[in-house]
C-alpha cells in the first residue's frame, strides 16, 4: 500500500482526489496548506506527495523547494495552472511530474505509479551490473540507486536518477526527447518535452562541475541528449 500525502486547498478537489486514491488502495493523508503539508511530511512519512501550486500562505513552489532541501521523495504537482512557464517553474523547483487539473483518477494513478517505479532499481540494472560504474569523477551504483562524485553522495530525485541510469546505460547513443519521455517518464503528449529539459537542467546542476559546459549529460543539437562527450 502506497502512502500518499495530498496538499490541496480546494475542499471539493481534496475530497475527490482522496476518494480516488483510496479506491486504488492508497493510504492517504490530505491537508489544505503548505505549512500543514510540511508537518504532515514528518508525521505521516508518505511514499509520494501530490502537490497543488496555488496554496494559501506558503505556495506549492516553496513547499516543493523546501521538501527538496532535505528529501528526494517523489513529488507530483497537481495544478490547474498548465501554461508552459508554470509547468517549467514547477519542474525546476524539483517536481518529478506535472499533472494539469482537471485530471481523471486513472491518469493521476498512472503518473504516480510511473514516478514510483523510478524509485526502485529495474531487474535489468540489478541483474547486469555487478558493481558500480565509474565514469570520470562519477560513480554510479545502479543496484543501490546511489551516485557519488569524488566520493561524495549526490542526492538525486527519482526522475533525475532514472534519467541518469537510462542515458549512462548506453553512452554511445543519442536519445530524442520523445523517446526519453516514453522510456523514463512512461508517458507522452504534446508539450511534455519540457519535462525532459527541466530534469536535464536539474541533473546537470548536481553532477556537472560547470552545468553550462557539461561533461556527462551532453546536448546533441537538433536531436536530444546523450551520456558522455559528443564526437567531433
Domains along the chain with CATH numbers: 3-117 (3.40.50.2300), 123-227 (1.10.10.10)
pLDDT value at 42 more than 60 = yes
pLDDT value at 48 more than 90 = yes
pLDDT value at 123 more than 50 = no
Comparing 143 with 126, which gets the higher pLDDT? Answer: 143
pLDDT value at 18 more than 50 = yes
Average pLDDT over all residues of the chain: 86
pLDDT value at 41 more than 90 = yes
When pLDDT is averaged across residues 82-92 and rounded to a whole number, the result is 78
When pLDDT is averaged across residues 38-59 and rounded to a whole number, the result is 93
**pLDDT tier for residue 149 given thresholds of 50, 70 and 90:** very high
**Residue 127: predicted pLDDT:** 46
**Residue 120: predicted pLDDT:** 66
Most confident of 3-17, 91-105, 114-128: 3-17
Please give, one letter per residue, the 3-state secondary structure of 62-108: HHHHHHHHHCCCCEEEEECCCCHHHHHHHHHCCCCEEEECCCCHHHH
**Residue 232: predicted pLDDT:** 44
* Least confident piece of the model among 28-37, 162-171, 186-195: 186-195
pTM summary value:
0.75
pLDDT value at 70 more than 80 = yes
**Residue 63: predicted pLDDT:** 94
> Per residue in 194-223, pLDDT tens?
788 888 999 999 999 999 999 999 998 888
Amino acid at each position: 500500500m502506497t502512502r500518499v500525502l495530498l496538499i490541496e486547498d480546494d475542499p471539493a478537489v481534496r475530497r475527490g482526489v482522496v476518494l480516488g486514491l483510496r479506491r486504488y488502495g492508497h493510504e492517504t493523508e490530505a491537508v489544505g496548506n503548505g505549512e500543514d503539508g510540511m508537518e504532515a511530511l514528518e508525521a505521516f512519512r508518505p511514499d509520494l506527495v501530490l502537490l497543488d501550486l496555488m496554496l494559501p500562505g506558503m505556495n506549492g513552489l516553496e513547499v516543493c523547494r523546501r521538501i527538496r532541501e532535505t528529501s528526494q521523495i517523489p513529488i507530483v504537482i497537481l495544478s490547474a495552472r498548465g501554461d508552459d512557464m508554470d509547468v517549467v517553474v514547477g519542474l525546476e523547483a524539483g517536481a518529478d511530474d506535472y499533472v494539469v487539473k482537471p485530471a481523471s483518477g486513472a491518469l493521476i494513478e498512472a503518473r504516480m505509479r510511473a514516478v514510483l517505479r523510478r524509485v526502485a532499481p529495474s531487474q535489468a540494472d540489478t541483474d547486469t551490473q555487478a558493481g558500480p560504474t565509474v565514469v570520470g569523477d562519477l560513480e554510479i551504483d545502479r543496484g543501490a540507486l546511489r551516485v557519488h562524485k569524488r566520493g561524495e553522495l549526490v542526492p538525486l530525485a527519482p526522475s533525475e536518477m532514472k534519467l541518469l541510469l537510462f542515458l549512462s546505460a548506453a553512452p554511445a547513443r543519442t536519445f530524442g526527447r520523445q523517446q526519453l519521455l516514453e522510456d523514463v517518464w512512461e508517458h507522452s503528449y504534446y508539450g511534455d518535452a519540457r519535462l525532459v529539459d527541466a530534469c536535464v537542467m536539474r541533473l546537470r546542476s548536481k553532477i556537472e562541475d560547470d552545468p553550462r559546459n557539461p561533461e556527462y549529460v551532453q546536448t546533441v543539437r537538433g536531436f536530444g541528449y546523450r551520456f558522455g562527450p559528443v564526437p567531433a
